[in-house]
């Protein structure tokens, strides 16, 4: 088996990389889990430029504004943008909601919602988790009660990433409280300008504002915004989550951190010699590079399986759990290499690499939770992959 890209894929990677480097400011450094937060207007500009080149939704079918690009090309796109910490990607609209609407949406919903996503004109966010419903998502309590041609929604969603930037939210709400918990749930699209919605910021421990709590107080939404069948939204959500769980970002972010710390260790001297000459530092960086490469190959294996028409369910979970935990180990290793200086944050005078390592280390804990915890992924691997019985 040969692990190499074909000429078209190599050419696309180089063209994309050059475009991003030309478009980003000379002093751009990105940072954190969402580099978009560093400059939201630049994010919007980059997204529109990516859309103009056809890259934003290149993996979509042509009938919906895409290029029918292969999953491998799509993985290259995501890898390069993640490695360069480039703003402009649209995970919620392009990667998650758009493909889900193609499967479960009505023709009216496809005509209404897909073109703005493909043109980079709208920001969506995801309303799944609640204060009392995280990994056990099916226990959610947000209610949607039918009232004529509308649903009236009450409840709250938490950890809503980019909710303060979003124009609309796709959410799960309980429409039949008497049904078993995996049933009686519906998938609904909501304009965030609708009266009765309040977005409250949640500042994380890295002092970043990516999360929010979104509160719904008698929010009236047209029934035509229901995706799929009423009370069958759980199955729509499962489709969407399969699009969410991609592992390529983790290895790309990890490699960028390792490259920066490797360069720092080569240039920084202690006790008269570069840090990189210290045996344990050389060994631990090598181990993390190997793990990043394994995570990268696992992610590309998922893309390859998709290209062959296979459904990589357990493989996607394997990629996600290994990739997210590898990124956490990478961030922790980089903190160890930097020593006590590594604990200094962004903007502090003596912080090496402008405090990016400390920021990534704190955020790396969330990677093992977001998009399905490592424990949930292992259950999927055990049940769907190995056929083991439920505990």
pLDDT tens digits, 21-31: 999 988 887 76
Fold of 245-385: Butyryl-CoA Dehydrogenase, subunit A; domain 3 (1.20.140)
Tell me how far apart the alpha carbons of residues 93 and 239 are, in angstroms, rounded to a whole number: 14
Task: Name which residue leads in pLDDT, 376 or 257.
Answer: 257
For residues 161 and 211, the answer to whether their CB atoms sit within 8 Å is: yes
pLDDT category, 135, cuts 50, 70, 90?
confident
The predicted-structure confidence for 326-349, as pLDDT tens digits, reads as follows 999 999 999 999 999 999 988 789
Active site residue 359: no
| CATH tag, 7-89 | 1.10.540.10
What are the residues whose beta carbons fall under 8 Å from the beta carbon of 180, sequence distance 6 or more?
A: none
Decide: helix, strand or coil at residue 345.
coil
Catalytic residue among 244, 315, 325, 359: 244
Cα distance between residue 201 and residue 194, in whole Å: 18
List the CATH code of the domain at 124-232. Answer: 2.40.110.10
| Residue 206 scores a pLDDT above 60 | yes
pTM of the model: 0.90
Domain boundaries, the chain: 7-89, 124-232, 245-385
Q: Which of 225, 244, 211, 217 is nearest to 100 (CA)?
A: 244
CA nearest to 186, candidates 174, 178, 202, 194 = 174
What pLDDT was estimated at residue 64?
Answer: 92
Q: How confident is the model at residue 275 (pLDDT cuts 50, 70, 90)?
A: very high
| DSSP secondary structure of 111-139 | HHHHHHHHTT---EEEE--BTTBSSSGGG
């Amino acid at each position: 088996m040969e692990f190499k890209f074909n000429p078209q894929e190599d050419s696309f990677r180089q063209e994309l990389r050059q475009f991003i480097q030309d478009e980003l400011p000379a002093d751009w450094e990105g940072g954190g889990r969402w580099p978009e937060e560093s400059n939201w207007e630049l994010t919007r500009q980059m997204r529109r430029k990516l859309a103009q080149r056809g890259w934003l939704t290149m993996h979509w079918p042509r009938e919906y504004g895409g290029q029918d690009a292969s999953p491998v090309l799509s993985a290259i796109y995501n890898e390069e943008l993640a490695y360069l910490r480039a703003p402009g990607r649209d995970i919620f609209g392009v990667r998650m909601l758009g493909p889900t609407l193609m499967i479960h949406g009505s023709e009216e919903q496809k005509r209404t919602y897909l073109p703005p996503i493909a043109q980079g004109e709208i920001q969506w966010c995801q309303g799944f988790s609640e204060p009392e419903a995280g990994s056990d998502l099916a226990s959610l309590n947000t209610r949607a009660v039918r009232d004529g041609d509308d649903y009236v929604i009450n409840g709250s969603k938490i950890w809503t990433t980019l909710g303060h930037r979003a124009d609309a939210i796709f959410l799960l709400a309980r429409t039949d409280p008497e049904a078993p918990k995996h049933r009686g749930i519906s998938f609904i699209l909501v304009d965030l300008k609708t009266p009765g919605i309040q977005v409250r910021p949640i500042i994380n421990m890295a002092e970043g504002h990516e999360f929010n709590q979104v509160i719904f107080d008698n929010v009236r939404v047209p029934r035509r915004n229901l995706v799929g069948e009423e009370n069958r939204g759980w199955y729509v959500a499962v489709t969407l989550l399969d699009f969410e769980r991609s592992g390529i970002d983790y290895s790309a972010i990890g490699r960028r951190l390792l490259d920066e710390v490797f360069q720092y260790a080569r240039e920084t001297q202690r006790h008269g010699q570069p840090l990189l000459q210290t045996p344990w530092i050389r060994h631990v960086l090598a181990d993390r590079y190997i793990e990043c490469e394994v995570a990268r190959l696992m992610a590309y294996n998922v893309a390859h399986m998709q290209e062959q028409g296979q459904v990589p369910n357990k493989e996607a979970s394997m990629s996600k759990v290994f990739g997210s935990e590898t990124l956490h180990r990478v961030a922790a290793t980089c903190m160890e290499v930097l020593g006590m200086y590594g604990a200094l944050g962004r903007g502090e005078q003596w912080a090496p690499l402008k405090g990016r390592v400390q920021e990534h280390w704190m955020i790396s804990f969330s990677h093992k939770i977001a998009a399905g915890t490592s424990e949930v992924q292992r259950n999927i691997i055990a049940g769907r992959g190995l056929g083991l019985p439920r505990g």
